[in-house]
Amino acid sequence: MNILLAEDHPIYREGIRRLVEADSKLTLVFETADGQEALNQARALEPDIAVIDINMPGMSGLDIARARFKEQLPFEIVFLTMYRDPDIFNEAVDLGVKGYVLKDSSSGEICQAILAVGKGNTWYSPSLGEFFLNHKAKANQLDTEVPGFEMLTPTERKVLHMIASDRTTKEIAAEFGISPRTIDNHRSNICGKLGISGSHGLLKFAFENRFRL
C-alpha cells in the first residue's frame, strides 16, 4: 500500500515514517508538514492511504477530507489527532474517514489502523470506547427529553446530525447518493415530528443539540 504522510510535528512525523518504512507491506510515497501540499500531492500521486494530522498549517485535515469527499478522490484517510471532540469525530466519520488514531496511542495501534483501513475496514483508537458510551448516553437523553425525537428514522437522525455539522442540503444529498429534493423532504419530516417551524428553527435545534446527536 502506498502511503502519504502529512504531519507538521517533525519528531512525530519521523516516528510515523519509520513505522511505515519498517513494514514491508507499506511504501511511503510522500511526506509533508503542510496541509495544502498534502492535498495537492494526494491528487497527483493517488496514494492508497493518506495519514493526516487534523491540525495542520495551510489546510486542516478536515479540509482535506472535505475536498476528498467533494472530488471523490480515490484514497482513504487515517486521522492522527489529540482531539476527542465529538463534533470533529462525527464530521470525520460523516466524511468517510475510516481511521481515527489518538496521538497518545502506541505505535502498534497506528500500524493496525493503517493496515485495517487498507483492507477496507474502519479502525478507531480503543480508548475512544468511553467516549462512544458517553456520547450514546447523551443521545439517548433526546429520546426522553424531546417530544417526537424517538419517532425519527435512522436516516432522519443522520440527516439531522449532518445539519448540525453545517452540511448543506446538496452535500448531504451527495453523501446519501440521492437528490437534494429528497433531503428537503427528510428535513420537512424531521420538523413535523419535532414540532419545529422552518429551516432556521431546524438549524437552531441541530446546533443546540449537536453534542447529543
SS (H, E, C) 36-96: HHHHHHHHHHCCCEEEEECCCCCCCHHHHHHHHHHHCCCCEEEEEECCCCHHHHHHHHHCC
Indicate the range of 20-34, 63-77, 132-146 predicted with least confidence: 132-146
pLDDT score of 89: 81
Distance CA 42, CA 48 (A): 9
The residue that leads in pLDDT, 167 or 78, is: 78
Mean pLDDT value of segment 162-171: 85
Q: What's the pTM value of the predicted model, to 2 decimals?
A: 0.63
Q: How many CB atoms within 10 Å of residue 119?
A: 9
Could you tell me the sign of the dihedral formed by the alpha carbons of 168, 48, 31, 87, in that order?
positive
Residues 6+ apart with CB under 8 A from 84: 102, 128, 131
pLDDT score of 137: 60
pLDDT score of 1: 92
Confidence of residue 198 (pLDDT cuts 50, 70, 90): confident
The residue that leads in pLDDT, 134 or 102, is: 102
> Hey, what domains does the chain have and what are their CATH numbers?
2-128 (3.40.50.2300), 146-208 (1.10.10.10)
The residue that leads in pLDDT, 141 or 133, is: 141
**pLDDT digit string, tens, across residues 38-87:** 999 999 999 999 999 988 888 889 999 999 988 889 899 999 888 777 66
Confidence of residue 211 (pLDDT cuts 50, 70, 90): low
Distance CA 199, CA 98 (A): 31
Q: For 111-145, give the DSSP string.
A: HHHHHHHHTT--EE-GGGHHHHHHHHHHHHHHHHH
Confidence of residue 133 (pLDDT cuts 50, 70, 90): low
pLDDT score of 85: 72
Least Cα distance to 105 among 4, 19, 204 occurs for 19
Distance CA 116, CA 128 (A): 17
pLDDT score of 132: 58
Per-residue pLDDT for 208 more than 90?
no
Per-residue pLDDT for 129 more than 80?
no
pLDDT score of 96: 86
pLDDT score of 6: 95
Residues 6+ apart with CB under 8 A from 22: none
Per-residue pLDDT for 108 more than 60?
yes
Measure Cα distances from 145 to 66, 150, 189, 213 in Å. Answer: 33, 10, 19, 13
